[in-house]
Amino acid sequence: MPKKEKFKIGIMGCGTVGSGLVKLLRKYSLRKQSPEIEIGKILVRNEKRAVEIASELGLDQSLFCTLATDITENPEIDFVVELMGGVDHTKKLLLEALENGKSIVTANKDLLALEGKDLFETAKKQQQTIMFEAAVAGGIPVIATLKQSLKGNHVTQILGIINGTTNYILDVMKNQNRDFEDVLKQAQELGFAEADPVNDVDGHDAAYKTAILASIISGKRIDVNKVYREGIRNISQNDIRSADKRGYEIKLLGVINNDDDRVDARVHPVFVSKSNPIAGVRLENNAVLIKGDAVQELTLIGKGAGSLPTASSVFGDVLMLASQMQLGENPNPQYVCQHSDYAEIKPIDEVENSFYIRVSMHDKVGVLKAFGELTEKYGANIKFIDQYDASGDQAHADLIFDPIKEKAFNSLIEEMKELESIKAIESVVRVL
């Protein structure tokens, strides 16, 4: 039977997720479940924070420390839960923990996407495990699903709504008929978006998560800087209305295709058909659609952020790690990173996509013919065209193109802009 029934964890950082974890630990211990999990130490910035949090969460002040070594070098602490965020300094602390034989649970997507290599290599050398369920899609168990349940699959595609802030903004833009800047400002006031929104709005956060998922399903390391990235700043009310009229919702997606020698991993807004199970995912919710050769299609929908949902995943990892440590000294082979090479990422130019464009044009004879000649030149096939808003010699048209290599499509767009009949290409959005 299990060798050890009680584990002590060191928690680094006690903000939103950390205090959620403390609350869950308390409820868990009231349910008298096994194994027992106790807080060994909580690392906070300074004494003042320690006093504040201790009183806020009803914890004894002796549990707090301001020196990381009180956790990383503490022989009483079985493993470390990192919820402080940040990259360089945090990496240093976690390497110390690993070198002292402590496995790690972390929710830090930036750290893993940017500095995962050193961390996972050190973990492997030290025979420790790094668990990171909460790093992607908050409360949704996508990492365990990929690493364990779907382990017998070749996963060919992932489509993820993995940034709650942008999904919230797009949803409110649509359902309240408001513009991007306006909704962003409100989201900032409500705390759904950060004061500096670049990380969310320009797709950096989604790119980190996409890189992590792509790494798991490709079995290779992913250079996050090679993940193509486009945010939602250019999405307008007109785009949203056109999408709606044509049977689509606009979502910022992490897209991964893993059916080729080169991994196609990117983040950008997409027209998603309303019949797709992720199209209806509203507000700050997240969703991950996984295609595998065995499971066919699996969709997971839930809370992508927030104190308790994120702590739910962190705590799931804590309990999984504890149960593995009950089994023996070795790290769980399903969670040991086996990657050694970097994946070759398919450059965006060579990716084939379907596209929506909205054109404003002079409504006169010959427009269609000029269009037709150009599309033929680039081998582009128009799947759908609808002209509307005609008044005087002005009109708008929505076009949807069948999949075409991005490079050819961009050249087509450049030439289209030069056509006499075209006033402007008002919008270009990829279509799933």
Residues that bind its own copies (CB under 8 A): 1-2, 20, 24, 27-28, 31, 33-35, 127, 133, 139-141, 144-145, 148-154, 277, 280-281, 292-303, 306, 308-309, 311-313, 315-316, 318-320, 323-324, 326-328, 330, 332-334, 338
Q: Report the alpha-carbon distance of residue 69 to residue 80 in Å, rounded.
A: 12
Q: What is the DSSP-derived secondary structure letter of residue 335?
A: G
Catalytic residue among 102, 209, 220, 291: 209
* H helical segments located in 282-364: 307-327
- Find, among 135, 133, 114, 117, the residue nearest to 125 by Cα: 117
Nearer to its own copies, 108 or 310 (CB): 310
The single residue listed with the structure tokens 């799931």 is 316
Nearer to its own copies, 247 or 379 (CB): 247
Nearer to its own copies, 297 or 420 (CB): 297
Nearer to its own copies, 152 or 372 (CB): 152
b vs e for 190-205, b when ≥16 Cβ sit within 10 Å of the residue's Cβ?
eebbeeebebbbbbbb
Q: State in angstroms the smallest separation of the CB of 423 from its own copies.
A: 39
- C-alpha distances (whole Å) from 365 to each of 93, 94, 249, 415 are 68, 67, 33, 19
Q: State in angstroms the smallest separation of the CB of 333 from its own copies.
A: 5
Q: State in angstroms the smallest separation of the CB of 71 from its own copies.
A: 21
Q: State in angstroms the smallest separation of the CB of 145 from its own copies.
A: 5
Q: State in angstroms the smallest separation of the CB of 216 from its own copies.
A: 13
Q: Are strands 352-362 and 422-431 parallel, antiparallel or unpaired?
A: antiparallel
Contact 351, 377 (CB under 8 A): no
Helix 16-30, helix 47-57: angle, nearest 10: 40
User: Active-site residue 209, yes or no?
Assistant: yes
Q: Are strands 103-106 and 130-131 parallel, antiparallel or unpaired?
A: parallel
Nearer to its own copies, 170 or 311 (CB): 311
- Catalytic amino acids? 209
